[in-house]
Amino acid sequence: MRRIIFHIDVNSAFLSWSAVKGVMEGKPDIRLVPSVVSGDPNDRRSIITAASIPAKKLGIKTAQPVSMALRTCPGLVIVQGDWAWYRQCSEGFIGICRSYSPVLQQFSIDECFLDMTFRCPQGNPVEVATRLKDEVKTRLGFTVNVGIGSNKLLAKMASDFEKPDKVHTLWEDEVPEKMWPLPVRDLLWVGKKTERRLTDYGIHTIGQLAQLNPGSLARLVGNKFAAQLHENANGRDSSPVETEVQEAKSCSAERTFSRDLDDPREIDRALFNVACIVAHRIRADKFKASTVSMFVKYRDFTISQKQCQMAQPTDVTALILAEARRLLSEAWDGATPIRQVGLGVSKLTHESFEQMSLFEDPKMEYYREWDRRYDEEYAREHKSKYR
């Protein structure tokens, strides 16, 4: 039996959502002019998170530095992201999608897959998808693209065809006509590096990739990846729409400095800040972590990273920070200027019992109390800010 999968993708999500908010407040619609969403526009290191269609037509791209975009387009309208509002928009969007099928997999804040196999009775899937797209537009004020296919890969590829506010199909029998002429880079999981490797080998289109013998492909990109690419280029994908929300496997935070730093005190302060954030987040989700990792990024974007295992899982800021500091001293020579510092934890568990060590640090009670106050303070700030 043929499956019917939808992939629904919000068009320029953050930009559309900021536009909706502006319009509600009586401001001009930024979707109609060259505009972008970015971090702090005064920070030269900010990059563009989302761009309007008029901005894209001028050559402005996501992930481009704001300073560069401003040179291309001096009149560019820049708005700062509003995460609390984006979460609300996302919830509204996912809610409407879920009313079309309970078999829903949220893929990111602005994308989801729906298994519609038993949800398009006599109807044409295109009609159902059009209804969904129009309902989002009418009720929430922003547009989406819906891609329809017999598996997730094809649905996702289809939603990326012409935008905005469109429904496209990509059934298996349409693959040679609609997908094979596209450049390899358009295939899911083919990024910059893989594109380079493939084009160097003379493979430029998805169709060429589909016809390449798997052995040659394996020599280029490795066995496992080659098998997947070969399947995908031929339009095959058997992965199910996963309705279970996956638990996080890691949690991390990083800070990029507005100028490269070599002062150990300033770097330590940044490490302290990210440790507070990471530890707070895992406590909020009732996790404890067994692995702590730390990295520094230098001026030339090379990264030096270190990780280690904790004697036992923890969510205590001071313990995580202590490991991170030790790792930093191993990874960094103390002099080379640093662009960015990051800290992550992984091997997360929900272990609730504490294995009491005879040699437990006598300061432990103090550490825990400090964390409790941090969490309280955080909760207070968020309440006053978002209510």
Active site residue 111: yes
Between the alpha carbon of residue 252 and those of residues 30, 40, 295, 306, 316, the distances in Å are 33, 21, 11, 14, 15
Q: Which of 224, 265, 385, 387 binds DNA (CB under 7 A)?
A: 224
Long-range contacts from 318-321, C-beta under 8 angstroms, 24+ separation = 318/363, 318/367, 318/370, 319/367, 320/275, 320/278, 320/279, 320/289, 320/292, 320/345, 321/271, 321/272, 321/275, 321/279
In this complex, which beta carbon is closest to DNA, that of residue 246 or of residue 352? Answer: 246
First to last CA, the chain: 49
Q: Which of 22, 41, 54, 65 binds DNA (CB under 7 A)?
A: 65
Interaction residues for DNA, span 297-336 (CB under 7 A): 301, 303-309
Integer Cα distance of 180 and 18 in angstroms: 36
Q: Is 11 in the site for DNA (CB under 7 A)?
A: no
Task: Tell me the per-residue interface mask from 341 to 360 with DNA, x by CB under 7 A, - otherwise.
Answer: -x-x-x--------------
Q: Which of 91, 111, 351, 376 is catalytic?
A: 111
Q: Is 12 in the site for DNA (CB under 7 A)?
A: no
In this complex, which beta carbon is closest to DNA, that of residue 133 or of residue 306? Answer: 306
Interaction residues for DNA, span 66-85 (CB under 7 A): 67-68, 71
Q: Is 205 in the site for DNA (CB under 7 A)?
A: no
Minimum CB–partner distance for residue 157 and DNA (Å): 10
Q: Which of 3, 45, 163, 204 binds DNA (CB under 7 A)?
A: 45
Interaction residues for DNA, span 95-154 (CB under 7 A): 107-111
Task: Tell me the per-residue interface mask from 275 to 294 with DNA, x by CB under 7 A, - otherwise.
Answer: --x---x---------x-x-
Q: Is 190 in the site for DNA (CB under 7 A)?
A: yes
In this complex, which beta carbon is closest to DNA, that of residue 138 or of residue 302? Answer: 302
Among residues 182, 166, 192, 165, the alpha carbon closest in space to that of 235 is found at: 182
Q: Phi and psi (nearest 5°) for 247?
A: -70, 150
Amino acid at position 236, single letter: R
Q: With residue 227 as reference, give the H or E element that holds it.
A: helix 223-233
Q: Which of 1, 2, 238, 249 binds DNA (CB under 7 A)?
A: 249
CA atoms within 13 A of residue 109's CA, in its CB half-sphere: 12
The string over 27-44, giving b where at least 16 C-beta atoms fall within 10 Å of a residue's C-beta and e elsewhere, is eeebbeebbbbbbebeee
With beta carbons less than 8 A apart as the criterion, state whether 345 and 251 touch: yes
Query: What six digits make up the tokens of 56?
Result: 């894209």
Amino acid at position 62, single letter: T
**Positions in the binding site for DNA (CB under 7 A):** 39, 44-47, 49, 63-65, 67-68, 71, 107-111, 188-195, 222-225, 246, 248-256, 277, 281, 291, 293, 301, 303-309, 339-340, 342, 344, 346
Catalytic residues: 111
